[in-house]
Structure 1
Amino acid sequence: MKNIFKTLLVCFLAIGLTNCEDNEKSPLAEQVNGSYVFIDIESPVIDVTALETSTFGGTLRTAVDNVASHEFEVRRVSGGLASEYVPIYSTTSFPAEFRISAPDIATALGIDVSEILPGDRFDFVGKTTGTDGSIVYENNLNADLFGEPGQRQAYNLQTFVSCPFFVEEAIGTYQLLSCGLTFCGGGNTFEVVAGEEPNTVVMLNPYNSFDPDTGEPFNIVVQVNPVTGEMTIDSQAAFDTADTGNNGFLPTKIETETGFYFSCVGFITTTLDNSIEQVGTGALFTFGALPFEAQKL
């Protein structure tokens, strides 16, 4: 993190930018020959109330007409246990409809569809074969391309079996599983309580961080769609930036990029955008997209 902070300062002092993100990327660092695809996700989750017919997916497209095929493998993560990856989808024509149902996944995994549960997660990894025989995976896709959501999702994407959200199910004690930063990666526990508005909850100091001026904990208000479990965090201060080892900044603000709150299994998963304002200059920086996952105990 200290190296990232130094790099951010170099960006600020050298070119006076107010935003410096993903500074290690080089637009010239082309690692593949352009045989890649992207996807527009139109159905983000599988609906548990329509398990047989609900689908996850969208439309696969190519940037250039030099792609021979694109395929996906999938694994199921249920109750903290992950299956092996198995093939589930392949296409040789573009644009192509990528639509995956729970029965499709069950068949690929060799299980009965009734074994698929609310809150189950499905991880997909993609592979593109070019007309010249070249192969593109996540790990050799150019960093700038992988930074684009449509590109990233064509090679590494997730979906869940959604369940209706109920505040009564959601409240309780949670353990923070992932936060993307060292200072909060030790398995903090925190409480979730009912919010003031319908379909809202409040995470009480999930980062175990306190406002340097007031000494008050950072509590985070979460709004949840009661039908799909899709969650929204409006921009709000979440932790003291000094906790990351970077001084001279106001508290870090976060807001959701994408996220789901599965009250049926007590699981929170989201990706958070963030902004950090430098004291005195008002210059804005970011840690980049941060994961946030927590499990109810």
Structure 2
Amino acid sequence: MKKIIYIIFGVALMLTQYSCTDESTFNNPAHHELENGAFVRFANNGVNATYPDAQNISISEEIYDANGNISEYSLTLTASIGGATYKAEDFIVITSFPAVLNITSQSMADALGLPLSSFDFGDSFNFIGKATRNDGVVFYGVRPTFSTSQLTVGPGNTEGQLFTPAYKNAMNFGTIVSCPFVQADMLGTYTIIQTAFNATSNTQFQVIAGANAGQFIMVNPYHSVGNFNIAVDVSPLGIATVARQDAYLTSERCCPGYTPTWVRTNASVSLGLSCIGYISLNLSTGLGVAGSDGTGFTFGDGVLIAQKN
């Protein structure tokens, strides 16, 4: 009978400890039942992925407070101009919703302290939102991160799925100054800047002409023994699309007994900019058991970013 009493007492003690937690100290709504975070959305499709004229970018988009609990929303602008990085904190501050987000080339140049004439093809502009909830809790437009080496938590507290196109988020977005696609300018040797996988330590691959003027071919960019080339179709202003194509042998990445792993561009914007020799592909992956149609498994999404030498 004593053992039963001890067990009941222990369970009661555990319940008491958990029920005394001060939930008002929680900054992440994921930890506090169904509490709503602060999140700003575009009313329509949001900012264009590319603009063709560096000196005449003009953005005018309606935004709204998705949960009706924001006291202030601000944007930090980070720009890559001619290969150099510039930053402007609190580039825009908004305190009432709905609102119209107005951004121009001139307003960005003024905020960065640069002449408008310095903006050119290939320059990029990225915006990170900061939404302050009515109770003072700040939500940053960055995914949650944790450093296993430093044991520190990053400032991000916006879950990754909210950055997918379906949510039309105004917390983390960007654009780049595109240029008319010229196939001949795209050809040459490229060095990989970032990739989700590479079968060898070789970081270079060739780009050759495709079947038409709007296509280029990456020659075995993953350096697979399967020797898979990947064709990339590009719109007149540099938006890139990759149809489903085998990319590397699955055994090179993990295990035998599966079809080759294929890639194709996902809903995020991919680019092929011939004027600066730049490739940025957002890719989904897929594979299946040997002898199947190559579906049923995936390594998830990843990127392939490369710069012409």
TM-score by structure 1 length? 0.78
| Change over 3 Å in CA distance of 1:203–1:197 after alignment to 2 | same
Structure 1 residue 273: deviation in Å?
A: 1.6
In structure 2, the partner of 1:222 is 232
Structure 1 range deviating more: 138-147 or 92-101: 138-147
Gaps of 5+ in 2: 1-28, 145-155
In structure 2, the partner of 1:174 is 190
Distance 1:177 1:136 in 2: 30
Gaps of 5+ in 1: 1-27, 212-216
Q: Deviations over 1:81-100 (max 9, x none)?
A: 32234332222233333342
In the alignment, does 2:113 pair up with 1:98?
no
Q: Deviations over 1:208-256 (max 9, x none)?
A: 1132xxxxx1111111112x11111111111222222233321111111
- Indicate the SS of the match to 1:83: strand
In structure 1, the partner of 2:52 is 47
| Change over 3 Å in CA distance of 1:193–1:153 after alignment to 2 | farther
- The residue type paired with residue 94 of structure 1 is F
The answer to whether the 8 A contact 1:262-1:268 is kept is: yes
- The residue type paired with residue 287 of structure 2 is I
- The residue type paired with residue 166 of structure 1 is V
| Change over 3 Å in CA distance of 1:105–1:179 after alignment to 2 | same
Structure 1 residue 196: deviation in Å?
A: 1.2
Larger radius of gyration: 2
TM-score by structure 2 length? 0.75
Distance 2:121 2:81 in 1: 9
Pairwise mapping of residues 3-82 of structure 1 onto structure 2 (< 5 A)?
Answer: 29-30=30-31, 33-39=36-42, 40-48=45-53, 51-56=54-59, 58-82=61-85
In the alignment, does 2:230 pair up with 1:209?
no
| Change over 3 Å in CA distance of 1:184–1:54 after alignment to 2 | farther
**Higher RCO (C-alpha 8 Å, min separation 6):** 1
In the alignment, does 2:251 pair up with 1:235?
no
Structure 1 residue 141: deviation in Å?
A: 2.8
| Change over 3 Å in CA distance of 1:285–1:235 after alignment to 2 | same
| Change over 3 Å in CA distance of 1:30–1:99 after alignment to 2 | farther
Structure 1 residue 278: deviation in Å?
A: 2.9
- The residue type paired with residue 172 of structure 1 is G
| Change over 3 Å in CA distance of 1:283–1:268 after alignment to 2 | closer
In the alignment, does 2:298 pair up with 1:286?
yes
The answer to whether the 8 A contact 1:275-1:284 is kept is: yes
| Change over 3 Å in CA distance of 1:283–1:117 after alignment to 2 | closer
The answer to whether the 8 A contact 1:176-1:185 is kept is: no
Structure 1 residue 74: deviation in Å?
A: 1.1
The answer to whether the 8 A contact 2:163-2:172 is kept is: no
Distance 1:185 1:75 in 2: 33
Q: Deviations over 1:119-142 (max 9, x none)?
A: 012222111111121100123435
State the Cα RMSD in Å.
2.6
- Indicate the SS of the match to 2:287: strand
Distance 1:210 1:288 in 2: 22
Distance 1:253 1:201 in 2: 18
In structure 1, the partner of 2:308 is 296
- Indicate the SS of the match to 1:84: strand
Distance 2:290 2:95 in 1: 53
Given candidates 198, 220, 223, the residue that maps to 2:213 is 198
Distance 2:295 2:256 in 1: 14
Given candidates 153, 164, 173, the residue that maps to 2:180 is 164
Structure 1 residue 192: deviation in Å?
A: 0.7
Structure 1 residue 63: deviation in Å?
A: 2.3
The answer to whether the 8 A contact 1:43-1:57 is kept is: no
In structure 2, the partner of 1:248 is 257
Distance 1:190 1:41 in 2: 35
Q: Deviations over 1:4-54 (max 9, x none)?
A: xxxxxxxxxxxxxxxxxxxxxxxx945774221233324222222xx3333
